[in-house]
Amino acid sequence: MSPGILHANLACIESLLRVPNTVNVHKKKWHTAFVVIYCSRALLSIYQNSITKKGKIEIPLSTSYTAIHVKPEIESFAIDQASLVQLVKDKNLDQLQQLGGIDGIVSALKTGAEQGISNDDGEIASRREVFGSNTYRKPPTKGFLYHVWEAFQDLTIIILMVCAALSLGFGMKVHGAKEGWIDGLSILVAIFLVIAVSAICNFRQNKQFDKLSIVSNDIQIDVLRGGRRQKISIFEILVGDVICLKIGDQVPADGLFLQGHSLQIDESSMTGESDHVEINHGHNPFLFSGTKVVDGFGRMVVTAVGMNTAWGEMMSQLTRYSNEQTPLQARLNKLTSSISKVGVTVAFIVLVVLFVRYFTGTTKDENGNQEFIKGKTKFDDILNSSVEFIAAAVTIVVVAIPEGLPLAVTLTLAYSMKRMMADKAMVH
């Protein structure tokens, strides 16, 4: 800034500082505030002009950088997952005593019978990293094309497809291309409708069942965390959690009995035995996921969750989708098969009778002449008559097989399933 401009600013400031004595107190305060603001702006202007003359001060930006990923330290435990799984699975009391008993397991898992694990997010993440989460792997959901292929494998559909092909070929041979395709195409349309409706209904049913399964399996469990009793989702159970059990509860994971009174468990889902099993410290402190509490109450410490439990191991060896038919499906298939066998048998008998009557010269044409004369009848006439006989047999088979039965049953079940699902009922 030049000396002239600086001198002018100082002169203005000096003139502003001169306040007449005749001004009252309130105006003096406003005058003082104005002078302060003016002086501040003048000094700021002087500073900015001086920086401009010297050049702008810029901080160079770096085009490269290094990203540092800090991974939280995973907490270590005095016992590994494999030992815990094998201990409970084998119900090995000797190994339990070698590990210091139940108190030793509780200490090794850094939990407490009265406090449980901490509510700290870091500790929860560490336990989930070391021991896994209480979830189970599900087989991939089967797509729409699978259900289409499954519908194609129905015996009735296969027979109808063969009949449609024969009807289409023989119909065009007998009645010509203009009208001979009608019967065969009608059968194909019926087959398409049955397959489409069955596949769509089964596909939608499985998707709805998956949604309802997630809701029904997400039950609330009483646990001790940080010394406080609280409810959490069964999917949030971790190794080291102390679970409070009462009559009617499902055991959410594998574990060891801590304390309680007259605790009895129904292990029929695991062993198939209907007798109730008493849980105590002396002979049987082992608890398994998926079992039910039928009497008493108690607390347990979780030693395995998810796929590491005995229930998870059993589920991994089974497939959710089985080829076992429902009683209704079995009866319908038996009925359809019986009708089909009767229809095929009748059609075969009629075909044999027609051929026997034709080749024995019993049949006559429209003019009353004998249709077949040995050595005189042309081959084309014999072929046309044979095609007519086969077409008649195919017609009997098509009429005998109830092609509308699968469609009617599928629509009825789909409607009933939709009504039941509207009431939040599980249908599978």
Q: What's the pLDDT at 123?
A: 87
**pLDDT tens column, 362-374:** 777 777 777 777 7
Q: What would the two tokens of residue 29 be?
A: 């305060």
DSSP alpha helices (H): ranges in 21-68?
Answer: 25-54
Higher pLDDT, 315 or 234: 234
Question: In which band, very low, low, confident or very high, does the pLDDT at 386 lie, cut at 50, 70 and 90?
Answer: confident
Report the alpha-carbon distance of residue 136 to residue 160 in Å, rounded: 42
Question: In which band, very low, low, confident or very high, does the pLDDT at 143 lie, cut at 50, 70 and 90?
Answer: confident
Q: For residue 7, count other CB atoms closer than 10 A to its CB.
A: 10
Nearest to 175 by CA among 17, 387, 363, 362: 387
Q: What would the two tokens of residue 282 be?
A: 């002396």
Report the alpha-carbon distance of residue 88 to residue 310 in Å, rounded: 9
DSSP alpha helices (H): ranges in 245-378?
Answer: 268-271, 310-316, 327-359
Question: In which band, very low, low, confident or very high, does the pLDDT at 302 lie, cut at 50, 70 and 90?
Answer: very high
Give yes or no for residue 7 having a pLDDT over 70. no
Q: What's the pLDDT at 376?
A: 76
Q: What is the CB-side half-sphere exposure of residue 251 using CA atoms within 13 A?
A: 36
Report the alpha-carbon distance of residue 424 to residue 415 in Å, rounded: 15
Nearest to 401 by CA among 359, 340, 330: 340
Beta bridge partners of 315: none
Q: What's the pLDDT at 6?
A: 46
Q: What's the pLDDT at 258?
A: 92
Report the alpha-carbon distance of residue 366 to residue 382 in Å, rounded: 16
**pLDDT tens column, 241-294:** 999 999 988 899 999 999 888 899 988 877 777 788 889 888 889 999 888 999
* CB-CB contact of 273 with 257 (8 Å): no
Largest CA distance in the chain: 152
In this prediction, residues 375-397 reach a mean pLDDT of: 77
Question: In which band, very low, low, confident or very high, does the pLDDT at 313 lie, cut at 50, 70 and 90?
Answer: confident
* CB-CB contact of 256 with 88 (8 Å): yes
Q: What would the two tokens of residue 235 be?
A: 């999917």
In eight-state DSSP terms, residue 300 is E
Q: What would the two tokens of residue 177 be?
A: 């291309």
Average pLDDT over the chain, rounded to an integer: 77
Q: What percent of the chain has pLDDT over 90?
A: 9
Question: In which band, very low, low, confident or very high, does the pLDDT at 375 lie, cut at 50, 70 and 90?
Answer: confident
| Single-letter amino acid, residue 250 | Q
* CB-CB contact of 298 with 259 (8 Å): yes
Give yes or no for residue 111 having a pLDDT over 80. yes
Out of 113-117, 294-298, 310-314, which region has the weakest mean confidence (pLDDT)? 310-314
In this prediction, residues 58-63 reach a mean pLDDT of: 49
Phi, psi (5° rounding) for residue 248? 95, -10
Higher pLDDT, 139 or 351: 351
Report the alpha-carbon distance of residue 16 to residue 38 in Å, rounded: 9
Q: What's the pLDDT at 257?
A: 92
Taking the CA atoms of the chain, what radius of gyration do you get in angstroms? Answer: 44
Q: What would the two tokens of residue 207 be?
A: 């998707």
Beta bridge partners of 292: 250, 266
Report the alpha-carbon distance of residue 127 to residue 304 in Å, rounded: 11
Report the alpha-carbon distance of residue 12 to residue 39 in Å, rounded: 10
Using CB atoms within 10 Å of the CB of residue 390, give its burial: 0 to 12 exposed, 13 to 18 middle, 19+ buried.
buried
Question: In which band, very low, low, confident or very high, does the pLDDT at 340 lie, cut at 50, 70 and 90?
Answer: confident
* CB-CB contact of 263 with 295 (8 Å): yes
